[in-house]
Chain A
């Protein structure tokens, strides 16, 4: 299972674009990259998943370089409600087994 490294915390302001980068140097060929968002006292919420290049959905984009040793979650025009902990997970069927500390994102007015 690939270990992931994320910044412990980040601050930004409403309306800004926020990019959170995750390092996963030992990613395997079959591994996917998945990001979750968690609010206090709630279960994690699936945000986005990708394998390579760029993936975009209605809430975020995921950028994955060719070597796949890192990935960047991009949140466009954040609001106060985006304040949460964001987790990056890497793996195939077992990617949910190990959860890192995540990145605590604080959005300021």
Chain B
């Protein structure tokens, strides 16, 4: 099946710093990519939807200035958590919609720990 890769898989950063997470579709072009966060033992919560070459659409309650999303190409989207705080610690997951259909494939996820 189609592969979506996230990097890094785990990252620890100091409070107040920024951290970037990359999401790549390795063997297909993705017109749309999605970013989620998931707290332990909870379901996925959609943060934002991004289309290649345009601004991301953020879900209600998600601060766009804090969670910067860039979708520069059909195979790469990045999520930057700016001025991170301990409460931003979470599991962040990206997904990508295959350009040829409506099936969505997920990355492996990235654990962010802010200390």
Is B one of A's binding partners? yes
B64-113 with Cβ < 8 A to chain A = 91, 93-95, 97, 102-109, 111
> Contact flags (1/0) for A69-106 with B, using CB distance below 8 Å?
00000000000000000010000110111111110000
Interface residues of B in 37-68 (CB under 8 A from A): 43-46
User: Is A43 part of the contact surface with B, judged by Cβ < 8 Å?
Assistant: yes
Chain A residues near B108 (CB, 8 Å)?
Answer: 42-43
Count of chain B residues with a beta carbon within 8 Å of a chain A beta carbon: 23
Q: Which of A43, A93, A100 contacts B109 (CB 8 A)?
A: A43
Q: Considering residues A41, A43, A45, A92, which has the most beta carbons from chain B within 10 angstroms of its beta carbon?
A: A43
- When distances are taken between beta carbons in the complex, the residues of chain B under 8 Å from A61 are none
Residues of chain A within 8 A of B4, CB atoms compared: 43
Known: A87-B43, A99-B44, A100-B43. A46 touches B105 (CB 8 A): yes
Q: Do most interface residues of chain B lie in helix, strand or loop, or is the interface mixed? A: strand
Within 8 A of B (CB), among A17-39: 32, 34, 36
Q: Are B43 and A46 interface neighbours, CB within 8 A?
A: no
> Residue-by-residue, is B15-43 near A (CB-CB < 8 Å gives 1, otherwise 0)?
00000000000000000001010000001
Contact B43 A99 (CB under 8 A): yes
Q: How many residues of A contact B (CB 8 A)?
A: 21
Known A96-B95, A99-B45, A102-B43; judge A42-B109 contact (CB<8 A): yes
Known A-B contacts A46-B1, A46-B104, A46-B105; the reply to A41 vs B43 at CB < 8 A is no
Judging by beta carbons under 8 Å apart, are B105 and A96 in contact?
A: no
A44 at the interface (CB under 8 A from B): yes
List residues of chain B with CB under 8 Å of any chain A CB.
Answer: 1, 4, 6, 34, 36, 43-46, 91, 93-95, 97, 102-109, 111
